[in-house]
Amino acid sequence: MTAYRCAIIGCGAKSPTSGLTSAIGYTHAEAYLKCKDTQLVACCDVVEKNVISFRDRFGPCNTYTDSRELLDRERPDIVSVCTWLPVHGEVTVAAAARGAKAIWCEKPMAHRYGTAVDMLRACRENKCRLFVNHQRRYGQPFQIARQVIADGKIGRLLHIRGTLKDGTLLDYGTHLVDMIRFLAGDPSTLWVAGQADVRKHKTYHDHAIESYSLGVMAFNNGATGIIEMGHPDYDEPVLRADGSEGFVELYQSAQQGTGTLRMRLAGDSATQAPTLAEGFHGLAYFDKALADIVRVLADGGETLIDGESGLATTEIIMAIFESARCRRRLTLPLENPDASIDALLQAAGAD
Protein backbone atom coordinates (compact mmCIF):
# COMPACT_ATOMS: atom_id res chain seq x y z
CA MET A 1 0.00 0.00 0.00
CA THR A 2 1.25 3.50 -0.89
CA ALA A 3 1.71 5.68 2.17
CA TYR A 4 -0.80 8.46 2.74
CA ARG A 5 0.69 11.89 2.05
CA CYS A 6 0.26 14.02 5.16
CA ALA A 7 0.53 17.73 5.90
CA ILE A 8 0.49 19.67 9.15
CA ILE A 9 -1.04 23.14 9.25
CA GLY A 10 0.01 24.96 12.40
CA CYS A 11 3.54 23.82 13.29
CA GLY A 12 3.81 25.95 16.40
CA ALA A 13 6.92 27.43 17.98
CA LYS A 14 10.19 25.55 18.10
CA SER A 15 10.31 23.08 20.96
CA PRO A 16 13.59 21.89 22.51
CA THR A 17 12.06 18.61 23.60
CA SER A 18 9.67 15.99 22.35
CA GLY A 19 6.54 14.99 24.18
CA LEU A 20 3.31 16.41 25.50
CA THR A 21 4.88 19.75 26.42
CA SER A 22 5.88 20.53 22.83
CA ALA A 23 3.67 22.30 20.29
CA ILE A 24 0.81 20.03 19.24
CA GLY A 25 1.98 20.04 15.60
CA TYR A 26 5.19 18.37 16.76
CA THR A 27 3.18 15.60 18.41
CA HIS A 28 1.26 14.97 15.17
CA ALA A 29 4.53 14.88 13.23
CA GLU A 30 6.00 12.29 15.57
CA ALA A 31 2.93 10.12 15.09
CA TYR A 32 3.19 10.37 11.30
CA LEU A 33 6.87 9.42 11.35
CA LYS A 34 6.20 6.36 13.51
CA CYS A 35 3.35 5.11 11.30
CA LYS A 36 4.43 2.94 8.37
CA ASP A 37 1.39 4.00 6.33
CA THR A 38 1.94 7.77 6.45
CA GLN A 39 4.51 10.15 4.98
CA LEU A 40 4.92 13.74 6.15
CA VAL A 41 5.27 15.80 2.96
CA ALA A 42 4.47 19.39 3.94
CA CYS A 43 4.04 21.77 6.84
CA CYS A 44 2.68 25.28 7.28
CA ASP A 45 2.79 28.05 9.85
CA VAL A 46 2.14 31.76 9.52
CA VAL A 47 5.48 32.38 11.25
CA GLU A 48 8.27 31.47 8.81
CA LYS A 49 10.88 30.61 11.45
CA ASN A 50 8.44 28.05 12.87
CA VAL A 51 8.24 26.07 9.61
CA ILE A 52 12.01 26.18 9.22
CA SER A 53 12.54 24.85 12.75
CA PHE A 54 9.87 22.20 12.10
CA ARG A 55 11.53 21.04 8.88
CA ASP A 56 14.93 20.95 10.56
CA ARG A 57 13.47 18.78 13.32
CA PHE A 58 11.48 16.28 11.26
CA GLY A 59 13.40 16.03 8.01
CA PRO A 60 12.70 17.01 4.41
CA CYS A 61 9.21 18.35 3.75
CA ASN A 62 7.87 21.29 1.78
CA THR A 63 7.31 24.42 3.86
CA TYR A 64 4.61 27.07 3.55
CA THR A 65 3.34 30.14 5.37
CA ASP A 66 -0.02 30.10 3.55
CA SER A 67 -2.30 27.11 4.16
CA ARG A 68 -4.26 27.60 0.92
CA GLU A 69 -1.05 27.48 -1.08
CA LEU A 70 -0.03 24.26 0.65
CA LEU A 71 -3.41 22.67 -0.04
CA ASP A 72 -3.45 23.78 -3.68
CA ARG A 73 0.09 22.61 -4.44
CA GLU A 74 0.42 19.48 -2.32
CA ARG A 75 -3.11 18.03 -2.34
CA PRO A 76 -2.36 15.93 0.79
CA ASP A 77 -4.36 12.84 1.71
CA ILE A 78 -4.43 13.62 5.44
CA VAL A 79 -4.33 17.12 6.89
CA SER A 80 -3.58 17.84 10.53
CA VAL A 81 -5.24 21.06 11.69
CA CYS A 82 -3.08 22.23 14.59
CA THR A 83 -3.65 25.95 14.28
CA TRP A 84 -5.07 28.19 16.95
CA LEU A 85 -8.77 27.60 17.47
CA PRO A 86 -10.35 30.54 15.56
CA VAL A 87 -9.08 29.26 12.18
CA HIS A 88 -9.92 25.56 12.61
CA GLY A 89 -13.10 26.04 10.58
CA GLU A 90 -11.67 27.80 7.54
CA VAL A 91 -8.69 25.46 7.29
CA THR A 92 -10.87 22.35 7.60
CA VAL A 93 -13.38 23.53 4.99
CA ALA A 94 -10.57 24.48 2.59
CA ALA A 95 -8.82 21.12 3.01
CA ALA A 96 -12.03 19.17 2.42
CA ALA A 97 -12.80 21.21 -0.72
CA ARG A 98 -9.34 20.44 -2.11
CA GLY A 99 -9.67 16.68 -1.99
CA ALA A 100 -8.24 15.64 1.37
CA LYS A 101 -9.27 12.12 2.29
CA ALA A 102 -9.12 12.86 6.02
CA ILE A 103 -8.70 15.78 8.39
CA TRP A 104 -7.23 15.20 11.85
CA CYS A 105 -8.33 18.32 13.71
CA GLU A 106 -7.07 19.23 17.14
CA LYS A 107 -9.45 19.85 19.98
CA PRO A 108 -11.47 21.90 20.66
CA MET A 109 -13.21 21.48 17.32
CA ALA A 110 -14.34 25.09 16.88
CA HIS A 111 -14.87 28.36 18.73
CA ARG A 112 -18.51 28.65 17.61
CA TYR A 113 -21.24 26.03 17.29
CA GLY A 114 -22.19 26.93 13.70
CA THR A 115 -18.56 26.69 12.64
CA ALA A 116 -18.35 23.12 13.93
CA VAL A 117 -21.53 22.24 12.03
CA ASP A 118 -20.09 23.77 8.85
CA MET A 119 -16.86 21.79 9.24
CA LEU A 120 -18.66 18.47 9.42
CA ARG A 121 -21.01 19.41 6.59
CA ALA A 122 -18.12 20.40 4.30
CA CYS A 123 -16.36 17.10 4.98
CA ARG A 124 -19.49 15.08 4.28
CA GLU A 125 -20.17 16.94 1.03
CA ASN A 126 -16.61 16.35 -0.16
CA LYS A 127 -16.44 12.71 1.00
CA CYS A 128 -13.67 13.58 3.44
CA ARG A 129 -13.45 11.96 6.87
CA LEU A 130 -13.23 14.36 9.80
CA PHE A 131 -11.63 13.34 13.09
CA VAL A 132 -11.44 15.48 16.24
CA ASN A 133 -8.49 14.57 18.41
CA HIS A 134 -9.97 13.57 21.77
CA GLN A 135 -7.20 10.98 21.91
CA ARG A 136 -7.70 9.95 25.55
CA ARG A 137 -10.50 7.67 24.33
CA TYR A 138 -7.70 5.28 23.32
CA GLY A 139 -6.10 5.23 26.78
CA GLN A 140 -6.17 2.11 28.92
CA PRO A 141 -7.53 3.76 32.11
CA PHE A 142 -10.43 5.34 30.23
CA GLN A 143 -11.30 2.23 28.25
CA ILE A 144 -11.29 0.10 31.39
CA ALA A 145 -13.47 2.64 33.20
CA ARG A 146 -15.93 2.77 30.31
CA GLN A 147 -16.18 -1.05 30.17
CA VAL A 148 -16.67 -1.33 33.94
CA ILE A 149 -19.57 1.11 33.71
CA ALA A 150 -21.04 -0.53 30.59
CA ASP A 151 -20.93 -3.95 32.27
CA GLY A 152 -22.98 -2.65 35.21
CA LYS A 153 -20.18 -3.30 37.70
CA ILE A 154 -20.99 -0.12 39.62
CA GLY A 155 -24.73 -0.68 39.26
CA ARG A 156 -26.92 1.76 37.37
CA LEU A 157 -24.95 4.80 36.22
CA LEU A 158 -26.20 7.89 38.04
CA HIS A 159 -23.82 10.71 37.17
CA ILE A 160 -20.30 11.53 36.01
CA ARG A 161 -18.44 14.59 37.21
CA GLY A 162 -15.40 16.23 35.64
CA THR A 163 -13.62 18.91 37.69
CA LEU A 164 -10.37 20.79 37.23
CA LYS A 165 -8.81 23.51 39.32
CA ASP A 166 -6.87 25.08 36.46
CA GLY A 167 -8.58 24.94 33.11
CA THR A 168 -11.31 26.25 30.84
CA LEU A 169 -13.95 24.72 28.62
CA LEU A 170 -12.12 25.67 25.42
CA ASP A 171 -8.89 24.06 26.50
CA TYR A 172 -8.69 21.11 28.90
CA GLY A 173 -12.45 21.20 29.40
CA THR A 174 -13.11 19.79 25.94
CA HIS A 175 -11.30 16.60 27.00
CA LEU A 176 -13.35 16.35 30.20
CA VAL A 177 -16.71 16.94 28.49
CA ASP A 178 -15.76 14.39 25.85
CA MET A 179 -14.65 11.90 28.51
CA ILE A 180 -17.93 12.32 30.39
CA ARG A 181 -19.69 11.35 27.16
CA PHE A 182 -17.27 8.48 26.53
CA LEU A 183 -17.60 6.98 30.02
CA ALA A 184 -21.38 7.27 29.80
CA GLY A 185 -21.35 5.25 26.56
CA ASP A 186 -21.69 8.19 24.14
CA PRO A 187 -25.42 8.73 24.75
CA SER A 188 -27.42 11.53 23.17
CA THR A 189 -27.63 14.72 25.23
CA LEU A 190 -31.16 15.88 26.04
CA TRP A 191 -30.50 19.24 27.69
CA VAL A 192 -27.76 21.44 29.09
CA ALA A 193 -27.75 24.11 31.80
CA GLY A 194 -24.69 26.22 32.43
CA GLN A 195 -23.06 29.27 33.91
CA ALA A 196 -19.73 30.94 33.19
CA ASP A 197 -17.87 33.80 34.82
CA VAL A 198 -16.47 36.06 32.10
CA ARG A 199 -15.98 39.18 34.23
CA LYS A 200 -12.24 38.53 34.33
CA HIS A 201 -11.93 36.62 31.08
CA LYS A 202 -8.56 36.19 29.42
CA THR A 203 -7.32 35.41 25.94
CA TYR A 204 -5.63 32.11 25.15
CA HIS A 205 -4.21 31.42 21.69
CA ASP A 206 -6.29 34.21 20.18
CA HIS A 207 -9.64 33.25 21.69
CA ALA A 208 -11.47 34.22 24.87
CA ILE A 209 -11.64 31.91 27.89
CA GLU A 210 -13.70 32.09 31.05
CA SER A 211 -12.34 32.23 34.59
CA TYR A 212 -14.91 29.73 35.89
CA SER A 213 -17.65 27.58 34.37
CA LEU A 214 -20.19 25.01 35.49
CA GLY A 215 -22.36 22.86 33.28
CA VAL A 216 -24.96 20.14 33.81
CA MET A 217 -26.07 17.81 31.03
CA ALA A 218 -28.77 15.15 30.94
CA PHE A 219 -28.30 12.06 28.77
CA ASN A 220 -30.93 9.83 27.20
CA ASN A 221 -29.69 6.82 29.20
CA GLY A 222 -30.83 8.45 32.45
CA ALA A 223 -27.37 9.57 33.60
CA THR A 224 -26.31 13.13 34.33
CA GLY A 225 -22.99 14.78 33.54
CA ILE A 226 -21.44 17.66 35.48
CA ILE A 227 -18.44 19.73 34.34
CA GLU A 228 -16.74 22.34 36.52
CA MET A 229 -13.70 24.30 35.36
CA GLY A 230 -11.67 26.70 37.47
CA HIS A 231 -12.71 25.38 40.90
CA PRO A 232 -10.27 27.23 43.19
CA ASP A 233 -10.15 24.64 45.98
CA TYR A 234 -10.37 21.33 44.12
CA ASP A 235 -7.63 18.83 43.42
CA GLU A 236 -8.51 15.21 42.52
CA PRO A 237 -10.08 13.06 41.12
CA VAL A 238 -10.48 14.76 37.77
CA LEU A 239 -13.28 12.38 36.76
CA ARG A 240 -15.66 10.38 38.94
CA ALA A 241 -18.55 8.17 37.84
CA ASP A 242 -21.08 7.20 40.50
CA GLY A 243 -23.38 4.25 40.13
CA SER A 244 -26.09 2.86 42.36
CA GLU A 245 -23.64 0.29 43.77
CA GLY A 246 -20.13 1.68 43.32
CA PHE A 247 -17.89 4.28 41.68
CA VAL A 248 -14.97 4.80 39.30
CA GLU A 249 -12.39 7.58 39.69
CA LEU A 250 -9.63 8.82 37.37
CA TYR A 251 -6.64 10.82 38.63
CA GLN A 252 -4.29 12.82 36.42
CA SER A 253 -1.60 13.58 38.99
CA ALA A 254 -0.82 9.92 39.71
CA GLN A 255 2.42 8.63 38.28
CA GLN A 256 2.03 6.50 35.19
CA GLY A 257 0.77 3.05 36.11
CA THR A 258 0.27 3.79 39.80
CA GLY A 259 -3.17 4.86 40.83
CA THR A 260 -4.57 6.59 37.75
CA LEU A 261 -7.72 4.47 38.11
CA ARG A 262 -9.54 3.73 41.37
CA MET A 263 -12.88 1.97 41.72
CA ARG A 264 -15.22 0.24 44.10
CA LEU A 265 -17.39 -2.33 42.39
CA ALA A 266 -20.81 -3.64 43.31
CA GLY A 267 -20.62 -6.08 46.21
CA ASP A 268 -17.10 -5.01 47.23
CA SER A 269 -16.23 -3.18 50.42
CA ALA A 270 -12.67 -2.36 49.35
CA THR A 271 -11.44 0.06 46.69
CA GLN A 272 -9.36 -1.30 43.81
CA ALA A 273 -6.44 0.56 42.22
CA PRO A 274 -5.14 -1.68 39.43
CA THR A 275 -1.60 -1.22 38.11
CA LEU A 276 -1.83 -0.04 34.52
CA ALA A 277 0.69 0.34 31.72
CA GLU A 278 -0.80 3.71 30.69
CA GLY A 279 -1.71 6.82 32.63
CA PHE A 280 -3.98 9.86 32.29
CA HIS A 281 -1.67 11.35 29.66
CA GLY A 282 0.21 9.56 26.91
CA LEU A 283 1.90 10.14 23.57
CA ALA A 284 0.86 6.63 22.61
CA TYR A 285 -2.74 7.84 22.45
CA PHE A 286 -1.85 9.98 19.42
CA ASP A 287 -0.29 6.94 17.75
CA LYS A 288 -3.41 4.88 18.42
CA ALA A 289 -5.65 7.65 17.07
CA LEU A 290 -3.65 7.85 13.84
CA ALA A 291 -3.67 4.06 13.47
CA ASP A 292 -7.46 4.14 13.76
CA ILE A 293 -7.68 6.88 11.11
CA VAL A 294 -5.49 4.89 8.71
CA ARG A 295 -7.57 1.77 9.36
CA VAL A 296 -10.88 3.37 8.39
CA LEU A 297 -9.40 5.08 5.35
CA ALA A 298 -8.36 1.66 4.10
CA ASP A 299 -11.29 -0.46 5.25
CA GLY A 300 -14.14 1.89 6.19
CA GLY A 301 -16.00 1.92 9.46
CA GLU A 302 -15.89 4.24 12.45
CA THR A 303 -13.26 5.46 14.90
CA LEU A 304 -13.51 6.65 18.49
CA ILE A 305 -12.81 10.23 17.36
CA ASP A 306 -15.17 10.68 14.40
CA GLY A 307 -16.29 14.21 13.60
CA GLU A 308 -19.82 13.44 14.71
CA SER A 309 -18.55 12.71 18.21
CA GLY A 310 -16.44 15.88 18.17
CA LEU A 311 -19.50 17.89 17.19
CA ALA A 312 -21.54 16.37 20.04
CA THR A 313 -18.87 17.42 22.55
CA THR A 314 -18.60 20.90 21.02
CA GLU A 315 -22.37 21.31 21.14
CA ILE A 316 -22.37 20.69 24.91
CA ILE A 317 -19.62 23.25 25.48
CA MET A 318 -21.35 25.89 23.38
CA ALA A 319 -24.67 25.06 25.04
CA ILE A 320 -23.10 25.86 28.43
CA PHE A 321 -22.10 29.31 27.16
CA GLU A 322 -25.48 29.79 25.48
CA SER A 323 -27.35 28.72 28.60
CA ALA A 324 -25.39 31.30 30.59
CA ARG A 325 -26.25 33.93 27.98
CA CYS A 326 -29.95 33.05 27.86
CA ARG A 327 -30.21 32.32 31.60
CA ARG A 328 -32.16 29.12 31.05
CA ARG A 329 -31.81 25.41 30.48
CA LEU A 330 -31.48 24.53 26.79
CA THR A 331 -32.92 21.52 25.01
CA LEU A 332 -30.61 20.12 22.35
CA PRO A 333 -29.99 20.32 19.47
CA LEU A 334 -28.82 23.91 19.77
CA GLU A 335 -30.79 26.35 17.66
CA ASN A 336 -28.36 29.28 17.64
CA PRO A 337 -25.36 28.76 15.31
CA ASP A 338 -23.63 31.72 16.98
CA ALA A 339 -23.58 30.03 20.41
CA SER A 340 -20.09 30.70 21.76
CA ILE A 341 -18.15 32.39 24.52
CA ASP A 342 -17.95 35.46 22.26
CA ALA A 343 -21.75 35.72 22.20
CA LEU A 344 -21.78 35.43 25.99
CA LEU A 345 -19.12 38.14 26.31
CA GLN A 346 -21.13 40.46 24.08
CA ALA A 347 -24.32 39.88 26.05
CA ALA A 348 -22.48 40.45 29.33
CA GLY A 349 -20.90 43.66 28.09
CA ALA A 350 -17.46 42.34 28.94
CA ASP A 351 -14.45 44.19 27.55
pTM of the model: 0.95
Mean pLDDT of successive 10-residue stretches along the chain, which has 351 residues = 94 75 90 97 97 94 98 98 97 98 98 98 98 97 97 98 92 96 98 94 83 97 97 86 97 66 95 89 94 97 98 98 98 98 89 60
State which H helix or E strand residue 252 sits in: none
Residue 253 is predicted with a pLDDT of: 74
Residue 65 is predicted with a pLDDT of: 98
CATH architecture label of 4-135+285-305: 3-Layer(aba) Sandwich (3.40)
Please report, for the chain, the start and end positions of each structural domain, with discontinuous segments joined by +. Answer: 4-135+285-305, 139-280+306-351
Asked whether the beta carbons of 290 and 38 are under 8 A apart, the reply is yes
Q: How many residues does the chain have?
A: 351
Distance from C-alpha of 245 to C-alpha of 191, rounded to nearest angstrom: 26
What residues are paired with 102 via a beta bridge?
A: 78, 129
Residue 351 is predicted with a pLDDT of: 60
Taking domain 139-280+306-351, whether its CATH number is 3.30.360.10 is answered by yes
Asked whether the beta carbons of 266 and 246 are under 8 A apart, the reply is yes
DSSP helix/strand/coil, 196: strand
Distance from C-alpha of 59 to C-alpha of 40, rounded to nearest angstrom: 9
